[in-house]
A and B are shown apart, each in its own frame.
Chain A
Amino acid sequence: DTAVSQTPKYLVTQMGNDKSIKCEQNLGHDTMYWYKQDSKKFLKIMFSYNNKELIINETVPNRFSPKSPDKAHLNLHINSLELGDSAVYFCASSQGLSKEKLFFGSGTQLSVL
C-alpha cells in the first residue's frame, strides 16, 4: 500500500488555467506538506498543515491555495497558472515530533505551456 499518494503524476496545461493536485496519506501522520522542486532540483517548502490547520505559508503567491479536508488529505489548487509554476510538486507527511523524517509522495510534474 502506498503511504503518501498524490495525483496526477503528470500535469500539462496552458497558461492561465486552474488545476488541482490531490494528496492522501495512510500513515496516520498529523502533519502534511507541499514542497516545490524546481528544474535545478532545489526543494523548497510551500505549506504545512498540522491536523488540518495551516502552520506554514512560505511566501507563496496567493494563486496557490492548499486545502486540508481532514488530516489524511492535503490538496493544492493553483489558479491562473504561469510558466514559472512549472516544477515538480511533492506532498509529504510527518508524525509528531519527528519533523526531520518526511515521507514524500511520488511527485506531480507540472508543465505550463
Chain B
Amino acid sequence: GQSLEQPSEVTAVEGAIVQINCTYQTSGFYGLSWYQQHDGGAPTFLSYNALDGLEETGRFSSFLSRSDSYGYLLLQELQMKDSASYFCAVRSSYNTDKLIFGTGTRLQVFP
C-alpha cells in the first residue's frame, strides 16, 4: 500500500524551532508538499520539494531526501498562530492529479 507517516503530535514554546517529519512509502514519487490546517479551517499550501535539499519560505523550511523517502518541515521562531495540524503529501507520478496525504501532525505552541 501507500503510506505517509508523521508524528501525531508535537509541542513547543513560542520562539522555539520545531521539526515535523514525514516518511513515505508510495508506488512512485513526484514531489513532497506540506499543508497547514487550523482547527475548523481549510488546508493551505505551505511548500513543495521535488528535488533533494532544503527549500526556505520565511520562517518555514522544507527538506527532502528521496534516497531516504523522508522529508521534514522546519518551523522557526514559533508563534501561537502556528498551532495547527500539518500534513505532508506526495504525488506518486507525473501524470496523476492525486495527492496522497500523510496522517497529520498536530502542533501545539505554548506561551
Contacts and interface: CB of A to CB of B under 8 A. Distances in A.
Contact of A41 (B42, B85, B98, B100): B85
Given A41-B85, A100-B33, A55 B97 contact: yes
Interface residues on A, range: 20 to 34
B98 A50 contact: no
Interface stretch (B14-22, B43-51, B52-60, B66-74): B43-51
Binding site of B, secondary structure by majority: helix, strand, loop or mixed?
strand
Given A48-B97, A50-B97, A107-B42, A43 B87 contact: yes
Contacts of B101: 42-44
A104 B44 CA distance: 7
A101 B104 contact: no
Interface of A: 31, 33, 41-45, 48, 50, 55-56, 58, 90, 94, 99-107
Given A90-B42, A102-B45, A105-B42, 11 more contacts: A41-B104, A43-B104, A48-B98, A56-B97, A58-B98, A99-B91, A100-B45, A100-B48, A100-B91, A101-B33, A104-B43
10 contacts: A43-B87, A45-B98, A50-B97, A90-B43, A99-B96, A100-B48, A100-B91, A100-B99, A101-B33, A106-B42
